[in-house]
């Protein structure tokens, strides 16, 4: 009997068919599961990944998390605008004492904490980002008006000298609570392009300390320019916007216009010098633009704008003929007189120098010689300058075409101007670097993570 006869072939065929059906059903199940995973699993994975990234970012935001999301759950971008920041400074009178604690580990949030800008104060504004952000990939950065950054630097930087190095030259600025670094602008970048900066915070204790304006640190000696707190910020803002010196005493007003009378300009210059020559009980804050205007007054009076030496030549020739000054006929005396007068005038390359402190040699004998030499030079200089009014009272007709021909009417003012030094040591003065004329002022800055 054959296999066909006993039915075994039918059984084998039936078994093979059943096994094939099982395999086919398994493959169909796998294919269906894969399709379900493609349809639902991957989007779910992406969704949960996005949710995880958002949750991590919200955790980084700390106390700002509740303000950083709109009613539809979309993340917003923080902005610090000039109007709100100036109002904040006025309310705080410039002294910033952070409240509570900082729970965020984002650098820009820690900068806000150091400035005592807290949730609920409505100092920050929030906007939709200009592009769709991939959290976990892109940063959500704080946008800061350039004028805000200028105020922060002006008020809270560490002043190691009266005139600090330009932040646009060093690309960074030190504070008692951290460091701000500015990305340099490229040669192909427009001046009004968006700029980038970073904040490197110091310890949380440093961030929490009260920040008072105008901290000075020279040769290891920490000092502070202290002003009456009443209306302090109003005075500071007036200094920035109107180029007026910041002092506690009655101010001296604005710099006279270039077409003002020479007497008016001389008088203003002499008042200005008294301000910047004050001591630490009478500090002064000025702007670079104001100091430049003061220098221009002296250049106009003494060198006709900076490059005319006719007044110097006239003074040397005339003074060497005065009784008491004509006894020396040698070239060294003439050179001495010329040098002393030359140092009293302001030429194009001459500038008023404000120095925090002057170091004299440590050797006692050297100091004695230095003081004696200084005294001797001062006596001779006073002798020379004391004769200036007599010389100016009788300017010969030969100089009728010169600008100084009419100095006889202001001879005492001119003498006082010549007596003013160009270098002020241990000056209780700060020259503010950043104002409306600086390229930073109208820029926008993004504060990125260090």
Q: For 88-129, what is each residue's pLDDT tens digit?
A: 999 999 999 998 999 999 999 999 999 999 999 999 999 988
Confidence class for position 372, pLDDT limits 50, 70, 90: very low
Confidence class for position 59, pLDDT limits 50, 70, 90: confident
Query: Comparing 16-25, 110-119, 222-231, 261-270, which segment has the lowest mean pLDDT?
Result: 16-25
Q: What pTM, to 2 d.p., does this model score?
A: 0.82
Q: Report the C-alpha gap between 296 and 220 in whole angstroms.
A: 34
Q: Are strands 221-224 and 215-218 parallel, antiparallel or unpaired?
A: antiparallel
Q: Report the C-alpha gap between 384 and 390 in whole angstroms.
A: 11
Which residues are CB-neighbours of 350 under 8 A, at least 6 positions away? 295, 299, 422
pLDDT for res 35: 55
Q: Which residue has the higher pLDDT, 50 or 401?
A: 401
Confidence class for position 291, pLDDT limits 50, 70, 90: very high
Closest residue by Cα to residue 356 from 218, 185, 195, 233 = 218
Provide mean pLDDT across the span 290-318: 95
Provide mean pLDDT across the span 291-319: 95
HEC string of the chain equals CCHHHHCHHHHHHHHHHHHHHHHHHHHHHHHHHHHHHHHHHHHHHHHHHHHHHHHHHHHHHHHHCCCCECCCCCECEEEECHHHHHHHHHHHCCCECCCCCCCCCCHHHHHHHHCCCCCCCCCCEEECCCCCCCECCECCCEEEEHHHHHHHHHHHEEECCCCCCCHHHHCEEEECCEEEEECCCCCCCCCCCCEEEEEEECCHHHHHCCECCCEEEECCEEEECCCCCCCHHHHHHHHHHHCCCECCCCCCCCCCCCCCCHHHHHHHHHHHHHHHCCCCCCCEEEEHHHHHHHHHHHHHHHHCCCCCCHHHHHHHHHHCCCCCCCCCCCHHHHHHHHHHHHCCCCCCCCCCEECCCCCCCCCHHHHHHHHHHHHHHHHHHHHHHCCHHHHHHCCCHHHCCCHHHHHHHHHHHHHHHHHCCCEECCCCEEEECCCCCCCCCCCEEEEECC
C-beta of residue 180 within 8 angstroms of C-beta of residue 171: no
Provide mean pLDDT across the span 153-162: 94
C-beta of residue 269 within 8 angstroms of C-beta of residue 294: yes
Closest residue by Cα to residue 225 from 327, 359, 354, 330 = 354
Answer left, alpha or beta for residue 435, where phi above 0 means left and psi between -120 and 50 means alpha: beta
pLDDT for res 16: 54
CB neighbours (10 Å) of residue 368?
10
pLDDT for res 200: 96
CB neighbours (10 Å) of residue 307?
10
CA atoms within 13 A on the CB side of 414: 27
pLDDT for res 313: 95
Provide mean pLDDT across the span 46-74: 79
Confidence class for position 219, pLDDT limits 50, 70, 90: low
Percentage of residues in the chain with pLDDT exceeding 90? Answer: 54
């Amino acid at each position: 009997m054959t296999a066909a006869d006993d039915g075994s072939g039918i059984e084998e065929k039936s078994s093979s068919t059943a096994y094939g059906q099982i395999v086919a059903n398994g493959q169909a199940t796998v294919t269906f599961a894969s399709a379900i995973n493609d349809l639902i699993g991957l989007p779910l994975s992406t969704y949960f990944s996005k949710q995880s990234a958002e949750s991590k970012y919200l955790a980084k935001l700390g106390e700002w998390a509740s303000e950083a999301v709109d009613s539809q759950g979309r993340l917003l971008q923080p902005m610090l605008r000039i109007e709100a920041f100036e109002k904040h400074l006025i309310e705080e009178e410039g002294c910033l004492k952070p409240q509570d604690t900082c729970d965020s580990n984002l650098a820009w949030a820690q900068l806000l904490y150091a400035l005592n800008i807290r949730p609920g104060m409505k100092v920050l504004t929030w906007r939709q980002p200009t592009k769709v952000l991939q959290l976990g990939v892109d940063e959500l950065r704080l946008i800061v008006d350039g004028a805000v950054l200028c105020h922060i630097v002006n008020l809270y930087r560490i002043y190691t000298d009266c005139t600090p190095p330009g932040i646009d030259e060093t690309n960074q600025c030190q504070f008692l609570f951290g460091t701000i670094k500015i990305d340099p602008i490229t040669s192909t970048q427009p001046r009004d392009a968006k700029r980038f900066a970073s904040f490197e915070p110091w310890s949380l204790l440093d961030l929490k300390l009260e920040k008072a304006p105008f901290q000075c640190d020279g040769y290891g000696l920490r000092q502070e320019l202290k002003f009456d707190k009443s209306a302090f910020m109003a005075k500071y803002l007036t200094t920035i916007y109107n180029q007026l010196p910041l002092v506690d005493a009655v101010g001296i007003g604005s710099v006279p216009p270039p077409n003002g009378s020479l007497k008016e300009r001389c008088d203003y210059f002499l008042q200005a010098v008294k301000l910047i020559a004050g001591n630490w009980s009478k500090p002064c804050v000025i702007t670079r633009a104001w100091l430049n205007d003061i220098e221009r007054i002296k250049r106009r009076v003494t060198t006709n704008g900076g490059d005319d030496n006719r007044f110097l030549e006239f003074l040397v020739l005339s003074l060497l003929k005065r009784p008491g000054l004509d006894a020396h006929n040698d070239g060294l005396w003439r050179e001495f007189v010329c040098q002393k007068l030359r140092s009293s005038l302001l030429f194009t390359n001459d500038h008023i120098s404000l120095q925090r402190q002057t170091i004299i040699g440590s050797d006692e004998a050297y100091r004695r010689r230095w003081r004696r030499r200084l005294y001797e030079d001062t006596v001779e200089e006073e002798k020379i300058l004391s004769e200036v009014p007599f010389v100016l009272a009788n300017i010969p007709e030969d100089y009728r075409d010169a600008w100084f021909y009419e100095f006889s009417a202001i001879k005492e003012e001119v003498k006082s101007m010549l007596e003013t030094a160009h270098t002020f040591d241990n000056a209780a003065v700060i020259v503010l670097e950043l104002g409306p004329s600086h390229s930073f002022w109208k820029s926008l800055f993004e504060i990125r993570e260090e």
